Amino acid sequence: MPDKQEVDFDVIVVGAGITGMYMLYKLRELGMSVRVIEKNGDVGGTWNMNRYPGCKLDSESYTYAYSFLPDLLQEWNWSNEFASQPELMEFFSKAADRMDVRKDITFNVKATRMVYDEQGNFWTVELDNAEILRARFVLTAVGALSTPRMPSYPGMDLFRGEVFHSYYWPHERGGYGGKEVSFAGKRVAVIGTGSTGVQIIQEVAKTADRMFVFQRSPNWCAPLCNKPIEPERMAEIKARYPIIFEKCESTNSGFQHDFMFETAHGTTAEEREALFEELYNQSGYAIWVGHYGDMFTDPVSNGYITDFIARKIRQRVKDPAIAEKLIPKDHGFGLKRVPMETNYYEAYNQDNVELIDIREDPIIEMTPDGIRTGTRDFDVDMIIYATGFDAIIGGLKEMDIRGLGGKTLKEAWQDGPFTYLGLQVPEFPNLFTLVGAHNGATFCNIPRCAEAQIRWVADLFAHAVENGIDRIEADEQAAEEWTRHVFEVADATLLTTATNSWFWAEFGKGLERGHRLLVYNGGNPAYRAKVEEVRARGYEGFIMRQPAVVD
Ligand code: NA7
């Protein structure tokens, strides 16, 4: 590493969620000086912030843990197949203690501006407490779902009742799991029916006097089938952790479930029905990513499972008109993130729950007493916004990031993400975007793919330290090839037929404006094979500078 006098730190990591904490831990092992900047008051990212009732994993708990803390894994007993937010926050908080990372994290501070100084080869990072830090490298670990999105209905500030966005659920100590907010005896409006809305709705339905669900687009949901983990099973999981992690490494999505080699073609209706029925009643994502290999490439095959899930919704919802409103008509099953549920559809059979289709009867404005649609006034005591996130790139967009010649990241990405391996952007030397757009960790059981990515990046830094490399930049042509590859992979699937999801965002101007994919859906093994090949070829596609040689 070059002269440390010029910079405050070798590396600044932005974000102390699952990714940022582990990155810090790995970089410290290399003897690098690291400072982590975290906008919230504690570690944990998603699991620190999302404290709404019903917030839980859709990944099996034991596949979601840090794999590199074997002692913690052996001490830790997961309560359920799919753990809830309080338990996850506790796990990652304990992990932070074990890694002793908090001492290198500055909490409650936002990085607002980052400018690359070409002459000095360092990044100046401005914080919202007026502090300015200089670091040789900056690694963003800002999270894929950490910039909440609020609608902009007229009159939103006039409403006199309680208002929450799912991400900003009250954080008073002990407020884990939203326990402090009561719905009993209240009229509650929930806006949004993505994974978050689905989790909230099934909880609010239990105690609210009335609940109005404002749905813009229905989603294909499937049963979570959660259950407690008994001591014998936990002992078995503890003994099998290495096998579980190895299995997750081998699958496309980082879950234990993976596609079968068989396609749905040539199968009989009875065979398909039996398989889908089995998977529908099996816990977790088997029903999404654990069946026929052509479900997401062949419209006929996708139609089989889509039809099966639609029939399930019709069976579970008593009122046929409501059932039809809950069935997506514009995309097939699994082409957006599948919300997992527990009695979600049955909630609509309850007298206290009403579904409002806001495509038919749009929200016009918020009033002091509630919500006004084109045809009705809904007087409510509470409005819950489960309206999602500016996903994947939101955390970067919140910062003014400037690379060579003052070029902003916004300019570089005006037509969509342009990266090499989803890790670096040409003309932004020494900046790395962990679990970022177009990298293999965003379309995945995140800790599994994030860990692999962090280890790979740490190895790259070890290589830099050993070889005195002080500047790493993505090659333009390598980025072009990678970006083309990301789109080619997606074009070969049906994902392109469902662009109204957080996997996509709008970019461009005028006629060029359109949805661009934010994730890489080539799968975990393919991404890992690619980065390993890049490493084997001397980090091909990265331009590395050794000052001693250049000077
Ligand atoms: P999602 O999946 O993006 O869902 C957001 C929901 O909010 C979705 O139903 C949206 O409808 C709806 N929405 C968004 N804006 C509005 C407005 N203005 N009015 C009405 N409804 C609106 O976010 P989640 O938080 O549920 O889940 C994100 C991920 O977090 C999840 O997949 C997990 O991985 C964790 P739309 O579909 O846009 O019509």
* Stretch (H or E) spanning 245: helix 231-250
Tell me whether residue 237 is in a domain: no
Helix then strand then coil, in percent of the chain rounded to 5, is 35, 20, 45
Quick check: 250 pLDDT over 50? yes
**What is the CA(390)–ligand 1 centre distance, in A?**
10
Give per-residue pLDDT as tens, 292-338: 999 999 999 999 999 999 999 999 999 999 999 999 999 999 999 99
Atom of ligand 1 nearest to the CA of 337: 32
Is residue 44 within 8 A of residue 171, CB to CB? The reply is no
**The 3-state secondary structure of 311-352, one letter per residue:** HHHHHHCCCHHHHHHHCCCCCCCCCCCCCEECCHHHHCCCCC
Quick check: 260 pLDDT over 90? no
Tell me whether residue 480 is in a domain: yes
Tell me whether residue 139 is in a domain: yes
Tell me whether residue 218 is in a domain: no
**What is the CA(76)–ligand 1 centre distance, in A?**
33
**The 3-state secondary structure of 166-186, one letter per residue:** HHHCCCCCCCHHHCCCCCECC
Quick check: 550 pLDDT over 50? no
**The 3-state secondary structure of 518-541, one letter per residue:** CCCCCCHHHHHHHHHHHHHCCCCC
Secondary structure letter of residue 207 according to DSSP? H
Give the residue whose CA is nearest to atom 18 of ligand 1: 151
Burial of 219 (0-12, 13-18, 19+ CB in 10 A): buried
Tell me whether residue 502 is in a domain: yes
Is residue 67 within 8 A of residue 38, CB to CB? The reply is no
Beta bridge partners, 188, equal 211, 382
**What is the CA(299)–ligand 1 centre distance, in A?**
25
Q: Phi and psi of 409, rounded to 5°? A: -65, -35
Q: Which of 166, 506, 175, 189 is nearest to 339 (CA)?
A: 166
Number of independent structural domains in the chain: 1
**What is the CA(386)–ligand 1 centre distance, in A?**
6
Q: Strand 340-341 relative to strand 504-507: parallel, antiparallel, unpaired?
A: unpaired
Q: Is 339 in the pocket of ligand 1 (CB under 6 A)?
A: no
Give per-residue pLDDT as tens, 483-539: 999 999 999 999 999 999 999 999 999 988 999 999 999 999 999 999 999 999 999
Is residue 408 within 8 A of residue 400, CB to CB? The reply is yes
Is residue 125 within 8 A of residue 111, CB to CB? The reply is yes
Q: Is 500 in the pocket of ligand 1 (CB under 6 A)?
A: yes
Give per-residue pLDDT as tens, 15-46: 999 999 999 999 999 999 999 999 999 999 99
Instruction: Please tell me whether residue 152 adopts helix, strand or coil conformation.
Output: coil
What tokens appear for 143 in the block? 């999270």
Distance CA 403, CA 471 (A): 13
Grade residue 547 by pLDDT with cuts at 50, 70 and 90. confident
Q: Is 387 in the pocket of ligand 1 (CB under 6 A)?
A: yes
pLDDT score for 423: 98
Question: Taken in order 389, 390, 393, 395, is the CA torsion positive or negative?
Answer: negative
Q: Is 259 in the pocket of ligand 1 (CB under 6 A)?
A: no
What tokens appear for 161 in the block? 């009742």
Quick check: 6 pLDDT over 90? no
Give the residue-averaged pLDDT of 264-276: 95
Q: Is 48 in the pocket of ligand 1 (CB under 6 A)?
A: no
The CATH number of the domain holding residue 37 is 3.50.50.60
ipTM of model: 0.99
Distance CA 9, CA 2 (A): 12
Tell me whether residue 73 is in a domain: no
Give the residue whose CA is nearest to atom 15 of ligand 1: 387
Distance CA 66, CA 72 (A): 9
Q: Out of 199-213, 224-238, 254-268, pick the least confident.
A: 254-268
Strands ordered across the beta sheet of 353-357: 162-165, 382-385, 187-191, 210-215, 353-357
Give per-residue pLDDT as tens, 93-109: 999 999 999 999 999 99
Residue bearing the bigger pLDDT, 262 or 396: 396
Give per-residue pLDDT as tens, 71-85: 999 999 999 999 999
Tell me whether residue 376 is in a domain: no
In which domain, by residue range, is 494 found?
A: 4-43+101-147+391-545
Tell me whether residue 358 is in a domain: no
Q: Is 192 in the pocket of ligand 1 (CB under 6 A)?
A: yes
